[in-house]
Each structure stands twice: as C-alpha cells, then as structure tokens.
Amino acid sequence: MEDCILLRYGEIGLKSKRTRPFFERKYIIAIKDALNRNYIDYEDIKNLGGRFILYCKKTEEAINVLKKVPGIQSLSPAKKIVFSSKKDLIKKVEKEAKSLVKNKVFGVRVKRIGTHDFDSISLAKEIGDSIYDGSKGVNLTSPEVSVNLEIRNKECFFYTSATRGIGGLPPGSSENILCLFSGGIDSPVAAFEMLKRGCKVDFLFVDLVGEKVVSDVSRIYNFLITNFAFGYTPKLYIVDGKKLVKLIKKDTPNTLRQIAFKMVLYKIGELIAKKYRHLALIGGEALSQKSSQTLKSLLFIESQVSISMLRPLISLDKLEITKKARVIGTLSSSEKIKEFCNLSDGPVTTSPRSEDLKKIPSFDADIKEAVKNMAIVRGSAETKKYSKIKLSKGINFLTVDLRPKTIQQKKPLNTDLKIPYEEIFYNLDLLKKDKHYLLICEFGVLSDGTATELRKDGIKATGISVRDFKKHLLTKKK
C-alpha cells in the first residue's frame, strides 16, 4: 500500500471539457507552490478526472497546508491498494480496516470507475461482512467509522475521513485585482474572499499614521499571502497619505470629509490599477456599516473613478465579517490596527448630492505625487518595528513554536515546546494555568489569535513573530 491524499475540487467539475484543463493546470501549480513553500516533499500528482491523487509521505502536514489552497473542496488521507481480483481486493481492505472498526459502528461506501466483474453494492456488502466480527454493527447513515473505497480500474483508494478545504477556484484562474487594504477587520476578509475566487490579489495600503502601523499592516499582509495566495508573487503598494489627509481637513467641509477621503482612496487605487493592469479594485465595505458606506455614498464615490469596484462583503453584517476574520486567523491582529479614517467632528453627509461635488477640491495633483513616490513590495514585506513584549519582573515565559512541523524541522527554533497550530487546542493539557507562554509563528498573526483564545480559558499567553522572538532572545541575553 502507498500513502497518498485524495484532492477533490468543487465547481471546476462544472466547467466544460474545453475549459476544464486550464483550471486544472492552475490547480496543480498552486498545489506544488504550497507544498514547496512548506518544505513538504511529494512523489507525484495525478489527475484521475474529478480527483487528484497526491503521493506524499507526510500526509498530515500536507493536508494542513493544502486545505488553505483555493480551489480544493476537500481532502482525504488515503492508502492506494493495487488489486488483481475482487477476492484480492476484499482481503487487502479487510487487513486495513479490521482494526479500525473494532468495537465501532461502521459503514462501507464504494465508488467505482472502469470495467469490473463486480458491482459497487455487492462489493460493499462483502467487505462489510469480512470486517463485521468484532464491530458494533453497521449504520450507513451515521457510522463511527466510514470505510470509503474509490476504485479506478485496478487501483483502489481507501480512506476513512475527509477534511474540508476553502473551495472556490484555483489561484490565477481569475484576473489581477487590487485590494484597498487597511489591515482592519474588513479588508483582509475581502482580500481572502477574492483569493478564494481565483483572483491574483495585490494590496494597496495608504499610510495615514506612520511606520508602526505600516509594520502592523505588513504582518497581516504577509500572513494572508503566505497562507492563501499561491502560484504568483503578490505585491504591496504603500502610499504616504498623511499630506492628503491634511489637505482634506483643511479644504473640505466637515460634513463631507469622509466622502472626500474615500474618493481620494479610490483615485489612488485607480491610478495604480491602470498602471499595473489590475482590472478592478476590491473594498471591504458592507452596506450602511459606516456613513460613507450607505448606498448613495458608495454610488457617489464610485462615480468619480472609471474602474470597477468589487465589494465581496457588501451584504454581510459586522458579526458575520468578524466570524470570517476569526476563521481565517486575522481577527486578533486586525483588532490592534489603528485605522485613522474618521476625519469629521459631528454630523456627516450620508446622502451626497451632485452639488456636494463642487465643495470637494480636486486633489489630483497631490494624488499623482503620492503615487509617484510610493513604495512597492514584492512578496513578503519587511516589518521594521518589533512587537512590544511586556515581561513582568520575575516571570519566565515558556516558549511554544506553533509553526508547521516541516518548517520546525527545516528552520528550528530553540523553544520549550513545539506544538503546531493545528494541534494546540487538542493539547491544552500540556499548558498549565500557573505558567506564562510565549507563542511563536512566522508573522505573529496566528500566535496572536491563539494567545487571545487561550487567555479566554485562563491560560496566560502572548503571541509574537519569529523575528520578534529572536529579538527577545537577544534582549534577554544582555
């Protein structure tokens, strides 16, 4: 038997025979990129039509990575069984499954493609009979153990579980788009939703505060592109918007400053998108969440640019968006981002009219100047500022490496514990409430979120990045 992973795609299967190979090629490119980034060796990837088979020794580590690749609907660790006859197949499956169903209620399901001298129903029954002794019986509706067989000619893939992927379309199967990215709760979720639709997403951050916020936003950008953007190298455009904010506050009526600010953001995005061939902008707006996000405000602001605006969160409320942010892992870090975009004191315009446009000056020259002097980051962004680690006197932190096992092995850190993120909540017995823990992940985003959840359970924890951890060690030695 050979270890492998069954990879299932969703809506790619609905594509025509003419277009499906294009999506499947993108699918394979993303899978290989994800595995290579995480130092996971694999032997081969085969397309069986509606199923891909990945031959890989480290199936658990591979599944933890691949479940984040857009386009993958579900994954199952499997055993490949080569058989010569029905009798041979039943014997080999019995050997594999007998111990799994001991003292358990089980069910057997068979899917079959090819020409065989048996049918799926009779095979399932005979396999069930062969492993019945020692079990607690059969239940096809809700078994404790589900014995699944996918048979392709003389090969059978045996598996008992499936892990959900994020679904959608494979990276690069849709067009290039530019995300207006603040790093707050909404924009990372909006970027994720479009990555899930196969878009190549680049990111635009307009800096209104200074270097500390740029560093915090870069951490979230790094996390997103490392975990969900495959098959291409994303870019982060950083535009200094501090002068533009001063001009808006100086020259725009108080009630219209929020509208003017959003117009400036859209125009910056439009200039960059046209220069670097992005077909549309993405925003994290939800309808009527803020004064500048009423339907009339959004239509008014969008009318000032000639590029399409995509808003994947438009119908969601804040609770739904927050839930999505928690699932993808950005919530805790996003909550710490100080979004400086409230420029008005008192009442603001929520239903702008055409005559209001005359009250908003043209900032086109200043916008062009800001875009001309912007910084462009290709791939991961450098974070210049380190997180502040508050260490009380007399307290020693126990350090925990949350990175995937393959990265722990490839780039080892000197920590007290090594518990991959996927396993941390299944190993809470290892963490004591009278201790303090320093959790480490690559960019400090997952570790920050994990620390927040652990503190809810009474476990004292702080999350930091690998770079901050190394800085902490150097400081500790002095």
C-alpha distances out from residue 362 to 224, 242, 358, 366, Å = 34, 16, 9, 9
DSSP count for the chain of H helices, then E strands: 16, 19
What is the DSSP pairing of strand 436-441 with strand 397-401?
A: parallel
- Residue 17 burial class via C-beta count within 10 angstroms: exposed 0-12, middle 13-18, buried 19 and up: exposed
Show the tokens assigned to 171: 């990276």
Show the tokens assigned to 3: 């270890």
Options 4, 199, 341, 441, the catalytic residue: 441
Q: For residue 350, which of 278, 398, 298 has the smallest C-alpha distance? A: 298
Q: Is 341 a catalytic residue?
A: no
C-alpha distances out from residue 124 to 93, 131, 294, 387, Å = 11, 11, 57, 57
Show the tokens assigned to 350: 């929520």
DSSP 70-105: TTEEEEEEEEEEE-SSHHHHHHHHHHHHTTTTTTSE
Backbone angles phi, psi at 176, to 5 degrees: -80, 130
* Cα distance between residue 75 and residue 163, in whole Å: 5
What is the DSSP pairing of strand 2-9 with strand 163-164?
A: unpaired
Show the tokens assigned to 393: 């006197």
CB 355 within 8 A of CB 300: no
Q: Which residue has the tokens 């000056």?
A: 361
Which residues are marked as active site? Answer: 441
